[in-house]
């Protein structure tokens, strides 16, 4: 007889492999090479044990939106046989930069120089530089965080000067649109901006275009995403505290 834990583990494994298959199929449909798109498993609101189960399937990169919750999981999962890579993909306020700088490997949501400077200054000397992406409000959504596209190049030019950060790319969370073509169109804007920054600043390490989630990963891959952030399709629906 199977146990609830065993059933959950099997369910997570099946969902994880289904997402991998979606990404692989999207790469084929877009004429891109297999493995050109990285999966970032978004584990917010789910337990360290859930992360451990997905990691057992081979996943190494995990994204957390809530910084303290993410730090708790990072600490809980330290010291194991599997080395995980942790990405902060939620808003970073000034009073949280120290936690991000000390515990995470990536920060995807840098949208102003003040936050970049604090992350740089608070990154411990014994750790590798923090990988960062600039969050861009690519479609001008009124409720969305992120820097305006027109200001990205200037911010990027300042961030690359910070010695304890490595500017790796840009991240976007556009508003939902229904059709595949409309999804591709907004993601294509981000891809064009990504290529412009990379070429203008001559940054070989600028290699990460973090865009696409459960509902639009195929369109994001078609437009050029190198990293899709998928949570619901792997871990299931979320229950948020009141």
pLDDT tens, 67-98?
Answer: 999 999 999 999 878 899 999 999 999 999 99
pLDDT over threshold 60, residue 166? yes
Question: 240 in a domain, yes or no?
Answer: no
Domain range spanning residue 166?
4-234
CATH number at residue 201: 3.20.20.10
Question: 143 in a domain, yes or no?
Answer: yes
Give the chain's mean pLDDT: 94
Question: 241 in a domain, yes or no?
Answer: no
Question: 86 in a domain, yes or no?
Answer: yes
Q: What is the pLDDT of residue 1?
A: 46
For the entire predicted model, the pTM comes to 0.94
Band (pLDDT 50/70/90 cuts) for residue 240 is low
Question: 13 in a domain, yes or no?
Answer: yes
Q: What is the pLDDT of residue 188?
A: 98
* Rounded alpha-carbon distances, angstroms, from residue 91 to 27, 50, 79, 94, 112: 30, 23, 27, 10, 11
> How far is Cα 29 from Cα 26, in angstroms, rounded to an integer?
5
Mean pLDDT of 151-174: 98
Q: What is the pLDDT of residue 106?
A: 98
Question: 18 in a domain, yes or no?
Answer: yes
Question: 121 in a domain, yes or no?
Answer: yes
The beta strand positions in the chain, using DSSP E, are: 38-42, 61-64, 85-88, 106-110, 130-136, 165-172, 208-210, 227-230
Domain count, the chain: 1
What is the widest separation between alpha-carbon atoms in the chain?
60
Q: What is the pLDDT of residue 9?
A: 72
Question: 239 in a domain, yes or no?
Answer: no
**What 3-state class would DSSP assign to 109?**
strand
pLDDT digits (tens, 9 = 90+) for 30-80: 999 989 999 999 999 999 999 999 999 999 999 999 999 999 999 999 987
């Amino acid at each position: 007889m199977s146990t609830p834990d065993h059933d959950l583990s099997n369910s997570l494994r099946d969902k994880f492999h289904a997402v991998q298959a979606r990404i692989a199929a999207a790469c084929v449909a877009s004429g891109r090479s297999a493995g050109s798109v990285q999966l970032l498993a978004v584990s917010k609101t789910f337990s360290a044990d859930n992360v451990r189960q997905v990691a057992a399937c081979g996943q190494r990169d995990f994204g957390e939106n809530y910084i303290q919750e993410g730090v708790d999981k990072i600490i809980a999962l330290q010291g194991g046989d599997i080395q995980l890579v942790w990405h902060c993909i939620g808003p970073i306020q000034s009073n949280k930069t120290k936690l991000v700088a000390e515990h995470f490997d990536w920060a995807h949501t840098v949208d102003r120089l003040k936050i970049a400077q604090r992350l740089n200054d608070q990154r411990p000397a014994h750790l590798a530089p923090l990988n960062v992406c600039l969050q861009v409000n690519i479609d001008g959504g009124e409720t969305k965080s992120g820097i305006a596209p027109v200001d990205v190049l200037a911010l990027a030019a300042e961030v690359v000067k910070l010695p304890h950060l490595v500017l790796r790319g840009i991240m976007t969370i556009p508003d939902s649109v229904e059709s595949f073509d409309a999804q591709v169109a907004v993601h294509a804007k981000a891809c064009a901006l990504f290529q412009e920054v990379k070429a203008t600043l001559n940054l070989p390490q600028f290699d990460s275009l973090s865009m696409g989630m459960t509902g639009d990963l195929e369109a994001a891959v078609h437009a050029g995403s190198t990293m899709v952030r998928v949570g619901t399709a792997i871990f299931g629906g979320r229950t948020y505290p009141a």
